[in-house]
């Protein structure tokens, strides 16, 4: 398989073309399995079990990770080939919990900095969205400015200064008038716990 990459400047001029060989089979590595499929990955050094001691909560976080929308880390409802943001009722249904129990669970995860709740106002309509922390679940090769803004207190200790600067600059272009992030008072706890770890990483372009 061959992949052609074309570099074009801001005026539309073709600067360069390059072709990269993409091997589906490697005699040493084996078969490239489901390379085009959606994925959710976890990083070495950030073990969810160290932050969630309750096995039920731990299992519920993994169940929600299965419902993340591609490239966004947003928990979503997938029906009839369409996806939409999951609200509290949807999450309760996913986890087979009563709505009150689901709310308590979400609040616990928000306190730990593992979930962020965002209210988006679009055309006089309000929509609630829930996102998983990219430190523990990542559905994209790139850390988007929007996702960074939601979890920057937890992410900053593990990003290089130039990456933080670039993400903040890009994040300032986001229309924040339509977005309200709800946080709980103890979300900094996870940041302090993670600072003690040796492993540092960035994702995607930031490497």
pLDDT of residue 47: 84
Tell whether the model's pLDDT for residue 62 goes beyond 70: yes
Count other Cβ atoms within 10 Å, centred on residue 141.
Answer: 12
Residue with the two structure tokens 């589906």:
24
pTM (two decimals): 0.72
Tell whether the model's pLDDT for residue 185 goes beyond 60: no
Tell whether the model's pLDDT for residue 84 goes beyond 60: yes
Contact between 154 and 194 (Cβ < 8 Å) = yes
Q: Which of 1-10, 47-56, 82-91 has the lowest mean pLDDT?
A: 1-10
Please give the distance of CA 147 from its chain centroid, rounded to a whole number.
Answer: 6
Strands 125-132 and 76-79: unpaired
Confidence grade of residue 21 (pLDDT, cut at 50, 70, 90) = low
Give 202's DSSP letter: -
Q: Which of 25-29, 73-77, 96-100 has the lowest mean pLDDT?
A: 25-29
Tell whether the model's pLDDT for residue 157 goes beyond 50: yes
Give 69's DSSP letter: P
Interacting residues of 168 by C-beta distance below 8 A, sequence separation 6+: 145, 152
Tell whether the model's pLDDT for residue 8 goes beyond 60: yes
What whole-number distance in Å separates Cα of residue 109 and Cα of residue 77?
Answer: 19
pLDDT of residue 111: 93
């Amino acid at each position: 398989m061959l992949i052609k990459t074309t570099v074009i400047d801001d005026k539309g001029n073709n600067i360069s073309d390059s072709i990269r060989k993409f091997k589906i089979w490697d005699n040493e590595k084996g078969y490239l399995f489901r390379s085009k499929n959606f994925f959710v990955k976890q990083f070495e050094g950030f073990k969810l079990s160290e932050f969630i001691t309750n096995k039920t909560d731990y299992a519920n976080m993994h169940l929600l990770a299965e419902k993340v929308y591609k490239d966004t880390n947003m928990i979503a409802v997938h029906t009839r080939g369409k996806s939409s943001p999951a609200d509290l009722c949807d999450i309760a249904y996913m986890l087979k919990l009563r709505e009150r129990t689901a709310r308590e669970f979400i609040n616990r995860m928000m306190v730990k900095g593992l979930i962020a709740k965002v209210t988006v106002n679009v055309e006089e309509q309000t929509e609630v969205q829930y996102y998983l922390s990219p430190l523990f679940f990542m559905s994209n090769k790139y850390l988007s400015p929007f996702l960074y803004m939601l979890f920057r207190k937890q992410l900053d200790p593990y990003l290089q200064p130039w990456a933080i600067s670039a993400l903040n600059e890009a994040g300032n272009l986001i229309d924040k008038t339509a977005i309200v992030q709800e946080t709980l008072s103890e979300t900094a706890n996870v940041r302090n716990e993670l600072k003690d770890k040796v492993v540092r990483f960035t994702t995607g372009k930031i490497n």
